[in-house]
Amino acid sequence: MFTAVARVFDSDTDCDSDSDGEADMGMDPIVNALHSLAAAFEPDGGLMALTQQAILEKLHEIQAPGGRMNLVEAGAVRGIDVEDDGSVKVVLAVEATDPTVASEVRKAVEASLAQVEGVGTVEVTVHPLLATVQPGPTHAPEPPPTWADKIPGVKQVIAVASGKGGVGKSTVSANLALALAATGHDVGLLDGDIYGPSQQMMMGTQAEPMGDPDGRIHPVESPGGVKVMSFGFLVDPDQPVIWRGPMLQKALEQFVGDVIWGDLDFLVIDLPPGTGDVALTLCQNVPMAGVVIVTTPQDVALIDARKSLHMFKKLGVPVLGIVENMTVYQCPECGHVEHVFGSGGGQRTAEELEVPLLGSIPLDPAIVVGGDTGKPVVIDRPESPAGKAFTELAKNLAESLG
Ligand code: ADP
């Protein structure tokens, strides 16, 4: 009686681990097949040569997967080895995504070869050739969504920056956002000043942001119709925030992408003062229409504004212009105008750096009170000189962005 010993390799079986020589046959199939065929045609090949030929002939009778050709025609035969004692090893490679196909071929070959005269044991190895299976359309793995992909409804992002703190950057951000909304635009305000969030207070937004079942957050709508999101809603503004490196990056990404901004004409981002990690991260990840730099008129503030301006230029963020804040103080009683921080600094810097001076906001003590009580001057006293100056700034900016 004949015994059949067969193995089927799955695609991740390691041929090299086989120590009985079968793997070698698999490794060098063409050489093996040629040796086998050459031996079969030697004149004095005897019983062994006849058996190899007989095996090849038998393999002609077995259909390859797909049914159009036999195993030999299909090029499936990778090796035939016949020993003196009649034991036979055959290595095949067939196209098959489904491992059961290789198994069926193996069984068919075993059964067929066992009937050949002179054959002892039969060992059939069938390699499923996954690589030659007809590939479907190839799909490159989807790249992860960018931050911009996550805010598809936002048309223009405007960053508001300053070289140093205390020059009125947050005040300008809040009033600029409101002035843009007052002129019919859909506007969002993101308080990117995560180390000193103040927009939750300045904008007079009392409600807390609501979460969605899918983990996204609804911004809070302020009086005046601006959608606001601030870290001040989420953390105790009196506690210091210590976020660095990847954690900071992740937090900012969620802040931009996990907030349901919807369709906006403008998203105004109040950046932290200076040229630190937050400004850098946001500018590198959020496609900005441009940045507005807020400064006070005195020289020392202008030095910082210049530094900030150069950083944005280096990052490839267009500098839309400069806003000079706290320019003049006009006495409400007598009308006397006082240039408390000097005069003309913003204009000079704008000319020197070849960027527009987008607006000049007067010093107005009521702005301080309005900021602390959530009543920005644009909605509290729109007809005041400061209110009008912010409206003018919004108009200039919207025009410069087309
Ligand atoms: P920054 O964001 O640059 O740190 P803020 O916007 O917080 O600055 O302003 C600092 C302080 O200056 C606040 O008390 C604010 O109310 C006040 N302030 C800003 N702009 C004006 C202005 N034009 N007139 C009077 N006070 C102002």
- How high is the pLDDT of residue 44? 42
Q: Is 287 within a domain?
A: yes
Q: How many other C-beta atoms are found inside a 10 Å radius of the C-beta of residue 123? A: 20
Judgement on whether residues 116 and 196 belong to the same structural domain of the protein:
no
For ligand 1, mutation pick of 195, 298, 308, 367 (most atoms within 8 Å of CB): 367
- How high is the pLDDT of residue 235? 77
Low-confidence ranges of the chain (pLDDT < 70): 1-50, 130-140, 237, 240-241, 243-244, 300, 342
SS3 351: helix
Domain count for the chain: 3
Which atom of ligand 1 approaches the CA of 366 most closely? Answer: 25
Q: Is 139 within a domain?
A: no
The domain containing residue 95 runs over which residues?
50-129
Judgement on whether residues 82 and 165 belong to the same structural domain of the protein:
no
- How high is the pLDDT of residue 49? 55
* CB 369 near ligand 1, within 6 Å: no
Judgement on whether residues 159 and 285 belong to the same structural domain of the protein:
yes
- How high is the pLDDT of residue 290? 96
Q: Is 288 within a domain?
A: yes
Closest residue by Cα to residue 178 from 401, 400, 386: 386
342, two tokens: 């000097």
* CB 367 near ligand 1, within 6 Å: yes
Whole-angstrom CA distances from 329 to 2, 84, 109, 315, 335 are 109, 111, 99, 36, 9
Judgement on whether residues 198 and 327 belong to the same structural domain of the protein:
yes
- How high is the pLDDT of residue 80? 85
96, two tokens: 């098959």
- How high is the pLDDT of residue 179? 98
Q: Whose CA is nearest to atom 17 of ligand 1?
A: 368
Sign for the pseudo-dihedral over CA of 163, 265, 208, 246: negative
Judgement on whether residues 93 and 177 belong to the same structural domain of the protein:
no
Distance from residue 13's CA to the centre of ligand 1 (Å): 70
Q: How many other C-beta atoms are found inside a 10 Å radius of the C-beta of residue 3? A: 11
Judgement on whether residues 350 and 215 belong to the same structural domain of the protein:
yes
Q: Is 138 within a domain?
A: no
Q: Is 110 within a domain?
A: yes
Tell me the backbone φ, ψ of residue 307, rounded to 5 degrees.
-60, -45
Distance from residue 181's CA to the centre of ligand 1 (Å): 21
310, two tokens: 């150069």
DSSP 224-239: TS-EEEEHHHHS-TTS
195, two tokens: 């180390």
* CB 370 near ligand 1, within 6 Å: no
Rg of the chain over Cα atoms, rounded to whole angstroms, equals 39
What CATH number has the domain bearing residue 290?
Answer: 3.40.50.300
* CB 160 near ligand 1, within 6 Å: no
pLDDT tens figures, 332-375: 777 777 777 767 777 887 888 789 999 999 999 999 999 999 99
Judgement on whether residues 64 and 160 belong to the same structural domain of the protein:
no
* CB 169 near ligand 1, within 6 Å: yes
Q: Is 269 within a domain?
A: yes
Contact 125, 91 (CB under 8 A): yes
Tell which of 129, 145, 179 closes a domain: 129
Q: Whose CA is nearest to atom 8 of ligand 1?
A: 168
Q: How many other C-beta atoms are found inside a 10 Å radius of the C-beta of residue 201? A: 18
Closest residue by Cα to residue 355 from 309, 298, 401: 309
* CB 360 near ligand 1, within 6 Å: no
Q: How far apart are CA 175 and CA 172, in angstroms?
A: 5
- How high is the pLDDT of residue 327? 84
Q: Is 255 within a domain?
A: yes
Q: At 119, which amino acid appears?
A: V
Distance from residue 195's CA to the centre of ligand 1 (Å): 17
Judgement on whether residues 281 and 313 belong to the same structural domain of the protein:
yes
- How high is the pLDDT of residue 303? 82
Whole-angstrom CA distances from 239 to 131, 232, 235, 353 are 59, 10, 8, 38
Residues 6+ away with beta carbon under 8 Å from 156: 265, 266, 267, 289, 401
Q: Whose CA is nearest to atom 24 of ligand 1?
A: 363
Residues 6+ away with beta carbon under 8 Å from 400: 320, 321, 356, 358
Closest residue by Cα to residue 191 from 299, 272, 93, 287: 272
Contact 224, 378 (CB under 8 A): yes
Which atom of ligand 1 approaches the CA of 172 most closely? Answer: 6
Q: Is 271 within a domain?
A: yes
Burial category of 198 from C-beta neighbours within 10 Å (exposed 0-12, middle 13-18, buried 19 and up): buried
Sign for the pseudo-dihedral over CA of 225, 230, 236, 237: negative
- How high is the pLDDT of residue 53? 80
Judgement on whether residues 331 and 208 belong to the same structural domain of the protein:
yes
326, two tokens: 């706290």
Distance from residue 353's CA to the centre of ligand 1 (Å): 24
Judgement on whether residues 204 and 76 belong to the same structural domain of the protein:
no
Judgement on whether residues 121 and 159 belong to the same structural domain of the protein:
no
Q: How many other C-beta atoms are found inside a 10 Å radius of the C-beta of residue 312? A: 22
Judgement on whether residues 88 and 176 belong to the same structural domain of the protein:
no
Indicate the length of the chain as a whole number.
Answer: 402
- How high is the pLDDT of residue 73? 85
Q: How far apart are CA 27 and CA 125, in angstroms?
A: 12
Distance from residue 23's CA to the centre of ligand 1 (Å): 78
For ligand 1, mutation pick of 368, 373, 377 (most atoms within 8 Å of CB): 368
